[in-house]
Structure 1
Amino acid sequence: MSRAGSRDPALPARPRRTELALLLAALVLLALGFASAEGDIRGQLSGTVALYAGALAGAALALHTALRFLAPWADPLILPLATVLNGVGLCTIWGLHRVSDPRASEAADQLTWTLCGIALCGAALAVVPRPRMMQRYPYLTAAAGLVLLTLPMLPFVGIDAFGAQRWIGVAGFTVQPSEFAKILLVVFLAAYLSIKRDVLSLAARQLTIGSVKVFSQPRMRDLGPMTVAWGVAILLLVGTKDLGTSLLLFGVYLAMLYTATQRKSWVGIGVAMFAAGACVAWALFGHVQRRVTAWLTPFAPDTYEAEGGSFQLVQGLFALAEGGLTGTGFGQGRAADIFASDSDLILVSIGEKLGFTGLAAVVVLLFLLTERGFRAALESREIFVKLATSGFAFLLAFQVFVVLGGVTRLIPLTGMTTPFLAAGGSSLVSSWIIVGLWLRISDAARRPEPAAEHGADAATEVLRLRSG
């Protein structure tokens, strides 16, 4: 600001200049990555490299231009980080299929979904001019999320593939509704917690031993509506055998509940519920038993050779080992022959092609993007916005942990996709929608408030907006 209580009109341009510089650097790096992959595979460059790199660059720069008008105060790091992650995933998918089948359309499909995702990111900025608008209809939002989770179970629409009913068929395309339901359910949870936060924090029965408080039991009439909605969501996911997403949503539920109330006892209740649910799932579902067996004894001959056994996991471990420190490059390695190497095992493919160094860099980029989400939450002035923004950040962080933990055998493999990197339009588009919401929220948080000298009308408007 040039003086107290006034705004310097040049200030909004500074974040955008920083963003443009970082974005150009990311796009140059990605173009070199495409060229290097094409050189490893064919020994010469082709027009395909220019097509993919140019399309991604054009879409990212168009979104950057839109930000100058729609959200000039937005965090300048979010868009470059999302673009470089999307580009790394696109380059990896393109290289994998270029080796196995040069005529495969997976990379072209991923580019199409990338352009759709960036377009919807800009649409989210335009449709949501104020973040608090998402808080208006919490129960309607929850109902919409539950409807999306129900769609794969409907006849003639749901698609059963790989032992799960996660997809629906729409005009020849497959869509995974749970990817979009996660956004709606996080918004509902943030809205409910922002309303009930004080009650949930203070109105709880205390279990004491002597004069020492050891446990807080929440009142179910306060926790009930949220728990019922979340329980129904998880049961629907279990019904469609999408256990990875049910685990993810349960973790986000606990994290947001603790963020809103600071009650450690509630996390303890949630962990106990999760342990009980895991035991029930193991007892009821054969594919859960197979996943656990593959996790515990992957190198046993019976487990390795069994249908749905540990073959995919073990081959992924071998591919990571072959990558070493600097990677095999796209012309060598076994990742292209592993099932789902472009989706569930995309981090394995990156680790093999780019080595431990490249995989570590990608994980750091994912960490930085998550950190920008949490920073936007800290900068926000309203409880609902803080909770929604942190919920999206928890969603991204837990998803990366589940995927990376699965492919490195830290936890059982779940078949979940990695945000921005894995093949799949639903995951990619929903990730870009979250980026659009983050950009809007960070713009609202960083935008200076109207000064007192602008008159009482401006101050009154600020109070009205804050009250929601």
Structure 2
Amino acid sequence: MRSSTSSPVGEAQAQFPSPKRERKQGLRNMELGFLIFSYVIVLAALLQVQLGVTGEFNFNALTLLGLVAALTLAMHVVLRFLAPQADPFILPIATTINGLGIAMIYRLDLADSDNAGVFWTSSTAQILYTAIGVTIGIAVLFFVRNHRILQRFTYLAGLISLVLLLLPLIPGLGVSEANARVWISIGPFNFQPGEIAKVTIAIFFAGYLVTARDSLSMVSRKFLGMKLPRMRDLGPILIIWAICMCILVFQRDLGTSLLYFGLFLVMIFVATGRISWVVIGLVLFVAGALVAALNISYVNWRVTAWLDPLSPEHYDAAGGSYQLVQGMFGLANGGLIGTGLGQGRPDITPLAESDFIVAALGEELGLAGLFAILCLYLLFVARGFRIGHQGGDDFGRLLATGLSFAIGLQVFIVFGGVTRVIPLTGLTTPFLAAGGSSLLTNWIIVAILLRLSDTVKTSSSLAPQSASREVRA
């Protein structure tokens, strides 16, 4: 016969929260603390921009910060209910980088006299795109309650990726005036579908490699200590290589082709553990790059302008190295600690708010400021790799690794192009540069990584409970 009085253990459990609940609250409280610190950094940057450019403060800085804070706090609240065990560092890092980008774009708006009294400026548009991106990220958290659902749409994601890549080539839809055919125009709006394709193609690669991993891991022979795959298994990498070469030839987009091919190489290496796949991919890439540089005028012009940007032939030509040289001069002017926000002349560099926002930040924040921003990116990618490493299933492990590597590789391509380590490619800097397509995609990646991190920890916490039930049984 059961007693109507409650047991001491039940009273203790009702009075004191469980360690699991305390851990969840601790992660979200840690995230909130980092978010507040992020707001302080962004507010300081906005105020310094106003003081440096106009010599006074006004309420615009508080308005800009308030909008960013409201959006990211909304995602934080959603995480408390929908993903309480999600990684506490990803959202604050993304907020900080995004906020610094808005501060620099706002600084460039203030330097442009044509923006006086104009409501719709680049910084206004960037905040709107941030709002849309964060809203879509929240929607992803609502509808994707478990990342394994995405694996069901592996081949649909591949089909969507192919359609997105072909859209800019459709007459009347693609923007032919651009240097590269990567934009589509729908009414007054321009969009870059290749940015969204980063997410869908990562989902496709992850789902495909999970099913094809065993056959891709088969070994035919050894060469120089490497275990080479069978010749009949080289089809996937040859197909991806051919697609990337087609992007380079028909869309004149060197950066996107490099990004997709690098993404596939890393994911196939993680799936199979064979370094031979990376070697084969690098050989194919070098061969394709040499053929493209010698036979495609667009690529040849980029390479020669990179090797000798100060020559009059490249510097004075339309679409030449003028932008690259101006960015280099800006970085040199910034030196180690920079001129200070609002004190330099980053507006001299063409497209400083988008393609060359790294040079603009380097001029006013200096090498030390760029290094701090790179550290934020490095921490973001490291957290993504950590989520992939802790993944309990192969699909989640590949997806987290692929999305994180895509951000890291894109940052390397952009920073390398601006600092003349590699030729310019035209990719946008994640979270920093002005551009709605890139910003929307990056916030979707944030949401997927947050969902992956929560699912991983939830699965690991449920595993001991299920094991204990089996022991009791």
1:246-265 correspondence to structure 2 within 5 Å: 246-265=257-276
**What per-residue deviation string (whole Å, max 9, x for no partner) do you get for residues 195-232 of structure 1?**
1222211x231145xxxx64444335545356435633
1:138-149 correspondence to structure 2 within 5 Å: 138-149=154-165
1:60-75 correspondence to structure 2 within 5 Å: 60-75=72-87
Question: Which amino acid counterpart does residue 73 of structure 2 have in structure 1?
Answer: L
Answer yes or no: is 1:419 the counterpart of 2:430.
yes
Contact 2:134 2:443 in 1 (8 A): yes
Distance 1:129 1:230, change over 3 A: farther
How far is the alpha carbon of 1:177 from its aligned partner? Answer: 0.2
Contact 1:149 1:237 in 2 (8 A): no
Q: Mark the structure with the bigger radius of gyration.
A: 2
Distance 1:282 1:140 in 2: 34
Match of 2:167 among 117, 140, 151: 151
Which residue of 2 is the match for residue 204 of structure 1?
A: 219
Residue 150 of structure 2 aligns to a residue whose secondary structure is helix
Distance 1:166 1:120 in 2: 22
Contact 2:334 2:367 in 1 (8 A): yes
1:162-311 correspondence to structure 2 within 5 Å: 162-201=178-217, 203-207=218-222, 214-219=225-230, 221-225=232-236, 227-228=238-239, 231-232=242-243, 234-311=245-322
Residue 175 of structure 2 aligns to a residue whose secondary structure is strand
Residue 427 of structure 1 aligns to a residue whose secondary structure is helix
Contact 1:149 1:233 in 2 (8 A): no
Answer yes or no: is 1:58 the counterpart of 2:39.
no
Which residue of 2 is the match for residue 452 of structure 1?
A: 466
Residue 205 of structure 1 aligns to a residue whose secondary structure is strand
Contact 1:254 1:267 in 2 (8 A): yes
Between the two proteins, what is the percent identity of the paired residues? 42
Match of 2:440 among 399, 408, 429: 429
**What per-residue deviation string (whole Å, max 9, x for no partner) do you get for residues 257-298 of structure 1?**
111112122211111111111122113321211111111111
Contact 2:237 2:281 in 1 (8 A): no
1:362-373 correspondence to structure 2 within 5 Å: 362-373=373-384
Match of 1:443 among 454, 457, 461: 454
Answer yes or no: is 1:315 the counterpart of 2:330.
no
Residue 183 of structure 1 aligns to a residue whose secondary structure is helix
Match of 1:16 among 22, 28, 34: 28
Question: Which amino acid counterpart does residue 37 of structure 1 have in structure 2?
Answer: V
Distance 1:226 1:187, change over 3 A: farther
Distance 1:280 1:236 in 2: 14
Number of residue pairs aligned between Structure 1 and Structure 2: 451
Which residue of 2 is the match for residue 463 of structure 1?
A: none
Distance 1:238 1:414 in 2: 14
Distance 1:376 1:343 in 2: 30
Answer yes or no: is 1:409 the counterpart of 2:424.
no
Which residue of 2 is the match for residue 30 of structure 1?
A: 42
Question: Which amino acid counterpart does residue 328 of structure 1 have in structure 2?
Answer: T
Contact 1:216 1:266 in 2 (8 A): no
How far is the alpha carbon of 1:326 from its aligned partner? Answer: 2.1
Distance 2:238 2:304 in 1: 31
How far is the alpha carbon of 1:66 from its aligned partner? Answer: 0.5
**What per-residue deviation string (whole Å, max 9, x for no partner) do you get for residues 231-271 of structure 1?**
33552353111111101111111111111112122211111
Which residue of 1 is the match for residue 8 of structure 2?
A: none
How far is the alpha carbon of 1:141 from its aligned partner? Answer: 1.1
Contact 1:305 1:311 in 2 (8 A): yes
How well do the aligned residues superpose, as a CA RMSD in angstroms?
Answer: 2.2
1:57-96 correspondence to structure 2 within 5 Å: 57-96=69-108
Single out whichever of 101-110 and 233-242 deviates more from structure 2. Answer: 233-242
Distance 2:341 2:406 in 1: 31
Which residue of 2 is the match for residue 324 of structure 1?
A: 335
Distance 1:271 1:77 in 2: 33
How far is the alpha carbon of 1:430 from its aligned partner? Answer: 0.2
Contact 1:176 1:426 in 2 (8 A): yes
Distance 2:59 2:149 in 1: 45
Match of 1:127 among 122, 140, 143: 143
Contact 1:403 1:413 in 2 (8 A): yes
Residue 191 of structure 1 aligns to a residue whose secondary structure is helix
Residue 280 of structure 1 aligns to a residue whose secondary structure is helix
Distance 1:268 1:135 in 2: 28
Distance 1:193 1:47 in 2: 52
Which residue of 1 is the match for residue 7 of structure 2?
A: none
Single out whichever of 331-340 and 412-421 deviates more from structure 2. Answer: 331-340
Distance 1:226 1:384 in 2: 19
Which residue of 1 is the match for residue 363 of structure 2?
A: 352
